């Protein structure tokens, strides 16, 4: 029997429409908008001004503080604005707009696609290169990778877990990266192992990606310490805590970080970015993005420059379907509905999903019949029906007691609810307020 | 291009709905209904039909005129209450009595609490127990089964549990009771019209498990408790206490454990809580059957444990990550 996590979980239809589509390069647009905050933490500070010319891979904004990430130009051209721009969430965020001219690369970057696998750098050199390249978690959480690779004093990583689960329906970007950039990903894994000083890495992949499992198993056969582990298909296995449970059987304690059980989890896309940063000196300026949806003409996977307007990606896939009702950044379970398709692709954009017609519209809400299906579905062992009521009534102390802060917002409760109650909406609201209450208590 | 919709995640829904679950339960009750018709003929059909129609009408009237809501009678829940109420009464019950039962079940058992999802006690059982206390003679006059007769002879007789009670109270050894397990399994015995066949109940149980309408926890906890508790008593004194298998196969144990105790609204939320709930029902059923005044205790056991559900929910939380 294949390993998986123990509590809860759901099985949404996979709908991996673009699984067989090879990665294509999306043409460089005329203009890119590069947000300064593509990561969790403080926005980066711009180091270029309006009118300056920049090269591909040039640093345009510097990390501000410990939890932050550098931002680089993904094109060569002229900075036309350092200003606020409405991003996909509908909020105005500081961004740098660059008009594309020519294609001049920063000198240090090695453009050839030759595989480099001789890791000669020390741990500290590698950490600095990862930080300089502005790498963040590419699974969508966008936590600066350098921070994740620096365990707090007193804790020691024992195992590196690589997240190739891609449990979100529709998304296939990690799948294609594992298939087409397998060698590079494995070198990236070896680099990460060196940084963490661990002898063991487990690559967790759900069993619906058999070709990627076979490919990586073939490559890692002779590599000591790297195991490719097929996992039973179950959402939300890509959640950090669920993946750790599935891969090594350990439970991260409530409120704790993976390092508490000696684990560090990195996405396969991040491993690829680390390879490119260390072996090719290439900062994080492009990523693979899935464009998909049932009425999208040509669902596919594209290598996109960071800052490319999402509308360009939609055009490449055959244009916006006439009956589109919702555009989602990410997958259907955890992705965000977009307010603006001119918003740019960022470091955390794993896919663009277009929903059509009724698909994009929520079902009518009925009353709770206390069927307890949400309790059975919750992968954190919480009681969504109860948290919803507590949150709705502003009972924040009780919310805290019932572990609302443990919610990973996977959406399994709302997905399961026969009454179509927006359970997660209420829980998210309560979580925000409870978090604020806890923070104010500490002051 | 259309205006785009913005809403928080998740953006897809599993497609489950209240009515899918309710109609699923009704499908699971079909084998029991077929058995009832085979052994009790037209009476079973009339009682069930009257009960369902009465429940639907009362729910409609109360929602529309008393609560001023949009009636939701077709969500399936009122039909289930009607069917289960009918399944818990004799097939020869006068029809006006079943209408009174339906009014109590829907009016007091369900709507007085605020309707679907708010009631504390299983509505069908509230109706059933009300009838049992108000009309004890009619509620315990049992039609004897007669296979494949549309209009069976008006012969009445005792249920297996009533025979057991009689033997127990008169001090005769229960081991002398003639038990025909095949009849108990297939349904060829006197009893409430929907509870007679163990086979039909188990078919419905299997169907609901496969469709994931209910989980196994409550029924299995009840069966195991009755088997163990009844078994211990039987081992202590076989002449006084009957085998636990007899307890499992008679009366409302199957119907109650599979279809009544598992009612979403009135059962606990966590698996741990469901097991505690099931154990409570099992113990109470055996205690009432052996030491109580009534030959059967399933309805009372479920109603009593229903009252503990809020407490169980408070103290038996699901396993946290």
Q: How far is A38 from chain B (nearest CA, A)?
A: 20
Has residue A229 been placed in a domain?
yes
Looking at the whole model, is its pTM more than 0.80? yes
Residue B1 lies in a domain: no
d(CA A324, CA A313): 15
Straight-line distance from the first to the last Cα atom of chain A, in angstroms, rounded to the nearest whole number: 49
Quick one: DSSP state of residue B320? P
Distance CA B249, CA B199 (A): 10
A377 neighbors A385 (Cβ within 8 angstroms): no
Dihedral (Cα; B243, B246, B251, B252), 10-degree rounding = 90
The pLDDT assigned to A172 comes to 96
Cα–Cα nearest to B90, from B176, B167, B189: B189
- Across the interface, do B10 and A415 touch by the CB < 8 Å criterion? yes
Q: Which residues of A touch B321 (CB under 8 A)?
A: 7, 241, 245, 251-252, 254, 379-381, 406
**Residues A282, A429 share a domain:** no
What is the percent of chain A with per-residue pLDDT over 70, rounded to a whole number? 100
User: For an interface test with B, which of A364, A370, A380 has the most B Cβ atoms less than 10 Å from its Cβ?
Assistant: A370
Residues B122, B164 share a domain: no
Domain co-membership, A268 together with A388: no
For residue A59, being part of any structural domain is answered with: no
Residues A157-179 have a mean pLDDT of: 96
Final residue belonging to a domain, choices A336, A361, A386 = A361
Q: Which of A338, A361, A384 is the last residue of a domain?
A: A361
Tell me, yes or no, whether A99 lies in a domain: no
Which whole number is the average pLDDT over B301-306?
97
Question: Which residues of A are less than 8 Å from B268 in CB distance?
Answer: 372
Is residue B1 pLDDT above 60, yes or no?
Answer: no
Residue B5 inside a domain? The answer is: no
Residue A224: its pLDDT value, please? 85
* pLDDT, tens only, A372-391: 999 999 999 999 999 999 99
Confidence of residue B3 (pLDDT cuts 50, 70, 90): confident
pLDDT of residue B175: 80
Contact A422/B at CB under 8 A? yes
Cβ atoms of B134 and B140 closer than 8 Å = no
Is residue A162 a part of any domain in this protein?
yes
- B30-70 residue pLDDT tens: 999 999 999 999 999 999 999 999 999 999 999 999 999 99
The predicted structure's pLDDT at residue A90: 81
A157 touches A259 (CB < 8 A): yes
Alpha-carbon distances, residue A114 vs A250, A280, A286 (angstroms) = 38, 9, 18
The secondary structure element, H or E, covering residue B157 is: strand B156-157
B143 three-class SS: strand
Average pLDDT over residues A97-109: 93
Judgement on whether residues B310 and B228 belong to the same structural domain of the protein? yes
Do B134 and B157 lie in one domain? The reply is no
Q: Which of B108, B139, B170 is the last residue of a domain?
A: B139
The fraction of chain B above a pLDDT of 70, given in percent, is: 99
Q: Which residues on chain A are in Cβ contact (under 8 Å) with B261?
A: none
Q: Single out the residue in A308, A337, A361 at which a domain terminates.
A: A361
Length of chain B: 321
Domain assignment present for B144: no
Cα distance from B285 to chain A (closest Cα, Å)? 24
Interface residues of B toward A, Cβ cutoff 8 Å, are 1-2, 4-14, 16-18, 20-21, 75, 77, 115-117, 215, 264-265, 267-271, 313, 317-321
Question: Please, how many CA atoms are within 13 Å of residue A383, restricted to the half-sphere of its CB?
Answer: 26
Q: Domain range for residue B131?
A: 18-139
Q: Cβ contact (<8 Å) for A370 and B6?
A: no
* Shared-domain flag, residues A291 and A159: yes
- Count of other CB atoms within 10 angstroms of residue A295: 17
Please state, in angstroms and rounded to a whole number, the distance separating the CA atoms of residues B255 and B156. Answer: 22
A429 touches chain B (CB under 8 A): no
Q: Which residues of B touch A336 (CB under 8 A)?
A: 8-9
- Comparing CA positions, the residue from B253, B284, B247 lying closest to residue B164 is B247
* Shared domain check, A398 and A271: no
Residues A166, A307: one domain? yes
What is d(CA A428, CA A391) in angstroms, rounded to the nearest whole number?
A: 9
Answer for the pair A365, A422: CB distance below 8 angstroms, yes or no: yes
Is A334 an 8 Å CB contact of chain B? Answer: yes
Could you tell me if A224 and A151 lie in one domain? yes
Minimum distance, in Å, between the CA of residue A215 and any CA atom of chain B: 32
Does B4 fall in a domain? no
- What region does B47 belong to: left with phi over 0, alpha with psi -120 to 50, or beta? alpha
Q: What is the pLDDT of residue B2?
A: 63
Which pLDDT score is estimated for B165? 87
Mutate one of A359, A415, A431, A432 to test the B interface: name it (highest B CB count within 10 A).
A415
Question: Model confidence over B104-117: pLDDT tens digits?
Answer: 999 999 999 999 99
Domain count across chain A: 2
Please report whether residue B146 resides in a domain: no
Q: Which of B90, B113, B139 is a domain's end point? A: B139
| Same structural domain, B107 and B69 | yes
The residue among A371, A411, A416, A425 with the most chain B CBs within 10 A of its CB, best to mutate, is A371
Domain identity same for B36 and B115: yes
User: In total, how many domains does chain B have?
Assistant: 2
- Does A400 share its domain with A338? no
Q: Is A395 in the same domain as A353?
A: no
B135 and B171 fall within a common domain? no
Average pLDDT over residues A399-422: 96
3-state SS assignment for residue B170: helix
Q: Do residue A378 and residue A357 come from a single domain?
A: no
Establish if B9 belongs to a structural domain: no
Q: Is residue A33 in a domain? A: no
Query: Is the domain of B168 the same as that of B125?
Result: no
Contact A375 B270 (CB under 8 A): yes
**Res. A443: pLDDT tops 80:** no
Whether this model's ipTM surpasses 0.85 comes out as yes
- Measure CB to CB from residue A335 to each of B1, B11, B270 and give the nearest one: B11
Beta carbons of A411 and B264 less than 8 Å apart: no
**CB–CB of A424 and B20 under 8 A?**
no
Of A326, A368, A414, the CB nearest to B4: A326
The pLDDT > 90 percentage for chain A reads: 86
Residue B142, helix vs strand vs coil: strand
Residues A348 and A141 sit within 8 Å (Cβ to Cβ): yes
Q: Is residue A313 domain-shared with residue A401, that is, in the same domain? A: no
**Which of A79-93, A165-179, A351-365, A423-437 has the least mean pLDDT?**
A79-93
Per-residue pLDDT tens over the stretch A214-230: 999 999 988 889 999 99
Whether pLDDT at A175 is above 90: yes
What residue has token string 């059980």? A261
B36, B179: one domain: no
Contact B12 A332 (CB under 8 A): yes
Residues B178 and B308 grouped into a single domain: yes
Q: What is the pLDDT of residues B256-273, one digit of tens each?
A: 999 999 999 999 999 999
* Same domain flag for A187 and A292: yes
Kindly report the backbone phi and psi dihedral angles of residue A226, in degrees, each rounded to the nearest multiple of 5, phi listed first: -105, 120
The Cβ of residue A256 has, within 10 Å, a number of other Cβ atoms equal to: 11
- Decide: B301 and B281 in contact? Cβ < 8 Å: yes
Paired with A86 in beta bridges are A92
Q: Check CB contact of A12 with chain B, cutoff 8 Å.
A: yes
Chain A residues close to B12, C-beta within 8 Å:
12, 169, 332-333, 359, 415
Q: Does A169 touch chain B (CB under 8 A)?
A: yes
Smallest CA–CA separation between A1 and chain B, in Å? 21
Q: Among B1, B18, B271, select the one facing A418 at the smallest CB separation.
A: B18
- What is the residue range of A180's domain? 1-27+108-361
Q: Does A135 touch chain B (CB under 8 A)?
A: no
Distance CA B128, CA B122 (A): 10
Taking contacts as CB-CB distances below 8 angstroms, the residues of chain A near B2 are 322-325
Whether B12 maps to a domain, the answer reads no
**Looking at beta carbons, which residues of chain B come within 8 Å of A241?**
321
Least confident of A363-367, B173-177, B219-223, B235-239: B173-177
Claim to verify: residue B91 and residue B216 sit in the same structural domain: no
What pLDDT is stored for residue A10 in this prediction? 96
Angle in degrees, CA A253, A255, A259, rounded to 5: 60
For residue B153, pLDDT beyond 90: no
Using the predicted structure, report yes or no on whether residue B173 has a pLDDT greater than 90: no
Within-domain flag for A197: yes
Q: What CATH number is associated with residue A120?
A: 3.40.50.11540
Pairing of strands A286-292, A300-305: antiparallel
Question: Which one has a higher pLDDT value, B179 or A4?
Answer: A4
Q: Does residue A85 fall inside a structural domain? A: no
Q: What is the pLDDT averaged over residues A311-340?
A: 94
Measure in Å the smallest separation between the Cα of A125 and chain B Cα atoms: 37
pLDDT the model gives residue A132: 95
Asked whether residue B128 carries a pLDDT value surpassing 90, the answer given is yes
Q: Is residue A97 part of a domain?
A: no
Point out the domain boundary residue: B139, B165, B192: B139
Do A420 and A356 lie in a common domain? Answer: no
Eight-state DSSP code of residue B156: E
SS in 3 state form for chain A?
Answer: CCECCCCCCECCCCCCCCCCCCEEECCCCCEEEEECCCCCCCCCEECCCCCCEECECCEEEECCCCCCCCEECCCCEEEEEEEEEECCCCCEEEEEEEEECCCCECCCCCCCCCCCCCCCCCHHHHHHHHHHCCCECCCCCCCEHHHHCCCCCCCCCCEEEEEECCCCCCCCHHHHHHHHCHHHHHHHHHHHHHHHCCCCEEEEEECCCHHHHHHHHHHHCCCCCEEEEEECCCECCCCHHHHHHHHHCCCCCCCCCHHHHCEEEEEHHHHHHHHHHHHCCCCCCEEEEEEECCCCCCCEEEEEECCCEHHHHHHHCCCCCCCEEEEEECCCCCCEECCCCCCECCCCCCEEEEEEHHHHCCCCCCCCCCCCHHHHHCCCCCCHHHHHHHHHCCCHHHHHHCCHHHCCCCCHHHHHCCCCCCHHHHHHHHHHHHHHHHHHHHC
Q: Cβ–Cβ of B318/A375 closer than 8 Å?
A: yes
| pLDDT of the residue at B167 | 86
């Amino acid at each position: 029997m294949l390993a998986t996590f123990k509590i809860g979980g759901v099985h949404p239809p996979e709908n991996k429409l673009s699984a067989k589509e090879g990665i294509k390069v999306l043409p460089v647009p005329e203009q890119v908008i590069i947000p300064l905050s593509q990561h969790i933490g403080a926005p980066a500070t711009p180091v270029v001004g309006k009118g300056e010319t920049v090269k591909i891979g040039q640093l345009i904004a510097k990390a501000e503080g410990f939890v932050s990430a550098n931002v680089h130009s993904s094109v060569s051209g002229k900075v036309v604005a350092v200003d606020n721009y409405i991003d996909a969430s509908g909020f105005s965020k500081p961004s740098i707009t660059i008009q594309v001219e020519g294609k001049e690369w920063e000198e240090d970057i090695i453009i050839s696609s030759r595989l480099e696998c001789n890791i000669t750098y020390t741990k500290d050199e590698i950490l600095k290169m990862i930080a300089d390249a502005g790498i963040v978690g590419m699974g969508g959480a966008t936590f600066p990778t350098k921070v994740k690779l620096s365990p707090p004093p007193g804790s020691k990583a024992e195992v590196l877990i690589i997240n190739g689960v891609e449990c979100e329906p529709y998304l296939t970007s990690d799948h294609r990266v594992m298939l087409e950039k397998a060698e590079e990903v494995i070198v990236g894994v070896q680099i990460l192992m060196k940084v963490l000083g661990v002898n063991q890495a487990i690559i967790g992949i759900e069993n619906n990606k058999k070709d990627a499992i076979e490919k990586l198993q073939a490559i890692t056969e002779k590599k000591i310490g790297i195991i490719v582990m097929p996992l039973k298909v179950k959402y939300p296995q890509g959640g950090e805590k669920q993946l750790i449970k599935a891969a090594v059987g350990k439970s991260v304690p409530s409120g704790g970080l993976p390092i508490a059980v000696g684990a560090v989890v990195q996405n396969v896309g991040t491993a690829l970015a680390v390879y490119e940063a260390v072996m090719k000196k290439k900062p994080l300026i492009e990523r693979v993005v899935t464009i998909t949806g049932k009425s999208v003409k040509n669902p596919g996977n594209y290598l996109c420059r960071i800052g490319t307007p999402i509308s360009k990606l939609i055009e490449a896939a055959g244009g916006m379907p006439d009956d589109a009702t919702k555009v989602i950044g990410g997958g259907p379970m955890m992705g965000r509905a977009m307010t603006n398709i001119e918003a740019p692709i960022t470091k955390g954009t794993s896919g663009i999903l277009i929903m059509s017609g009724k698909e994009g519209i929520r079902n009518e809400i009925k009353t709770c019949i206390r069927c307890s299906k949400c309790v059975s579905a919750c992968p954190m062992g919480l009681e969504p029906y109860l948290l919803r009521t507590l949150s709705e009534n502003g009972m924040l102390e009780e919310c805290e007691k019932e572990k609302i802060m443990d919610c990973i917002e996977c959406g399994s409760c709302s997905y399961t609810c026969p009454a179509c109650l927006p359970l997660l909406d209420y829980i998210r609201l309560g979580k925000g307020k409870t978090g604020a209450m806890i923070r104010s208590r500490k002051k | 291009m259309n205006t785009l919709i913005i809403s928080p995640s998740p953006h897809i829904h599993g497609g489950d709905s209240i009515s899918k679950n309710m109609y699923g339960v009704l499908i699971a009750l079909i084998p029991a209904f077929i058995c009832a018709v085979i052994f009790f003929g037209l009476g079973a059909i009339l009682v069930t039909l009257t009960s369902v129609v009465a429940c639907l009408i009362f729910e409609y009237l109360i929602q529309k005129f008393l609560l001023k809501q949009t009636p939701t009678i077709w969500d399936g829940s009122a039909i289930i209450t009607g069917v289960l109420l009918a399944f818990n009464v004799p097939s020869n019950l006068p029809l006006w009595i079943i209408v009174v039962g339906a009014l109590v079940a829907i009016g007091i058992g369900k709507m007085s609490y605020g309707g679907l999802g708010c009631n504390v006690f299983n509505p069908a059982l509230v109706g059933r127990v009300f009838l049992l206390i108000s009309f004890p003679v009619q509620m315990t006059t049992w039609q004897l089964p007669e296979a494949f007769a549309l209009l069976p002879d008006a012969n009445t007789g005792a249920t297996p549990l009533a025979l057991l009670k009689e033997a127990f109270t008169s001090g005769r050894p229960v081991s002398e009771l003639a038990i025909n397990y095949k009849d108990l399994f297939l349904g060829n015995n006197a009893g409430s019209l929907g509870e007679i066949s163990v086979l039909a109940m188990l078919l419905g149980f299997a169907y609901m498990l496969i469709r994931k309408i209910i989980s196994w926890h409550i029924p299995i906890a009840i069966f195991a408790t009755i088997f163990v508790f009844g078994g211990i008593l039987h081992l202590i004194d076989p002449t006084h206490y009957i085998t636990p298998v007899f307890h499992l196969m008679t009366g409302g144990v199957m119907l109650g454990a599979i279809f009544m105790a598992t009612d979403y609204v009135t059962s606990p939320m966590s698996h741990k809580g469901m097991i505690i709930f099931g154990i409570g029902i099992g113990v109470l059923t055996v205690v009432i059957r052996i030491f109580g005044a009534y030959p059967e205790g399933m309805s009372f056991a479920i109603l009593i444990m229903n009252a503990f559900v809020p407490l169980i929910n408070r103290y038996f939380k699901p396993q946290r990550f």
